[in-house]
Amino acid sequence: MKEIRNSQSVIDQLIRSDSYFSPSLKPGLAEWLLRDNWFYFILKYLGIVFKTRKQALAGAYDYREWAESSIDILRLLEKVGGQFAITGMNYISSHSGPVVFVSNHMSTLETMIFPGIIAPRRKTTFVVKESLVRHPLFGPVMRSRNPIVVNRTDARKDFERVMDRGPELLSADISVIIFPQSTRREIFKPEEFNTLGVKLAKKAGVPVIPVAIKTDFWGNGKIIKEFGKLDHKKIIHMRFGKPFFIEGNGKEENQTIIRFIEDSLKEWE
């Protein structure tokens, strides 16, 4: 398979396809030198972040720019040895209206890559921690995406905020990505996977799309989570499931999402 040379061509492929697998390139000296090269990755990654921050502050960072910068990071991850296996992408746009994406949360990688996969097919935003929108580096970009902001210290207030703001966004045809876990974890713990996503979907009358990810290629840093180590031996998996509506109180549907994630992780191990 030939190397895809620019971000727009990757986006075009993602829109046309149900799956994406990183091209297998013949390893050479350059590939060997860059594989798991943390310093090279962080330098280039920060270059992308500073560029997008500048665009956001200038009011010139829209969905297209968001998707393209996301794919710039995907291509950078491939350059340092990351191999993507993304499936079920046609489900992203299989429902005509907005949806709630409910995913497990493993690392910084999924928050950087989801926009490149989802935004070209439908408008979307995240439920994010308040600390992220206030972050001096990442804050301007995140604020430009009009996210739902929670503080992770008061569960009741977070619930009210999501139940308030979420339906407003969904009624404006903006889908919502939510990570029901309280924090990023390399080991999936079902007991930490709350029902906030399914409750939002139930209230707004929209379907849920379950998402399973395995993104520990980019580990969580001990001091700064965003700057963890890289491990090319770990394939980057993302799988989108079939959308479904919520009935009753959503507990059964939440268990369905948990099983989808657990079965996917078991398969990928």
Tens of pLDDT along 236-245?
A: 999 999 999 9
Question: How is residue 157 written in tokens?
Answer: 């207030």
Mean pLDDT of 3-27: 80
Average pLDDT, integer, range 249-268: 96
CA–CA separation, 57 and 136 (whole Å): 12
Average pLDDT score over residue span 79-100: 96
Q: What is the pLDDT of residue 118?
A: 97
| pLDDT the model gives residue 55 | 97
> Rg of the chain over CA atoms, in angstroms?
18
Question: Which of 10-14, 33-37, 229-233 has the weakest average pLDDT?
Answer: 10-14
User: How high is the pLDDT of residue 186?
Assistant: 87
Angle of helix 63-79 relative to helix 108-118, nearest 10 degrees, comes to: 130
Q: Is a pLDDT exceeding 60 seen at residue 5? A: no
Half-sphere exposure of 18 (CA within 13 A, CB side): 6
The separation between the first and the last C-alpha atoms of the chain, rounded to the nearest angstrom, is 26
3-state SS assignment for residue 230: strand
pLDDT at 225 over 80: no
Query: 214: Cβ–Cβ under 8 A, 6 or more apart, which residues?
Result: 106, 234, 235, 236, 237, 238, 264, 265, 268
Half-sphere exposure (Cβ direction) of 167: Cα atoms closer than 13 Å: 11
Average pLDDT over residues 64-90: 96
Which pLDDT belongs to residue 57?
A: 97
What pLDDT score does 51 carry?
97
Residue 1 has pLDDT above 70, yes or no: no
Looking at residue 90, its amino acid is N
Q: Is the pLDDT of residue 191 over 50?
A: yes
pLDDT at 79 (0 to 100):
94
Give the residue-averaged pLDDT of 20-44.
88
Q: Which residues pair with 149 in a beta bridge?
A: 128
Q: Whole-angstrom Cα distance, residue 180 to residue 190? A: 10
Distances (CA, A) of 161 to 36, 97, 201, 250, 261: 39, 22, 14, 19, 26
Q: Is 31 helix (H, G, I), strand (E, B) or coil?
A: helix
For 94-141, write each residue's pLDDT tens digit. Answer: 999 999 999 999 999 999 999 999 999 999 999 999 989 999 999 999
Q: Is the pLDDT of residue 227 over 70?
A: yes
Give strand ranges (E) for 161-243. Answer: 175-178, 208-214, 236-240
Please say if the pLDDT value at position 12 is more than 90.
no
Question: Measured on CA atoms in the order 183, 241, 213, 44, is the torsion positive or negative?
Answer: negative
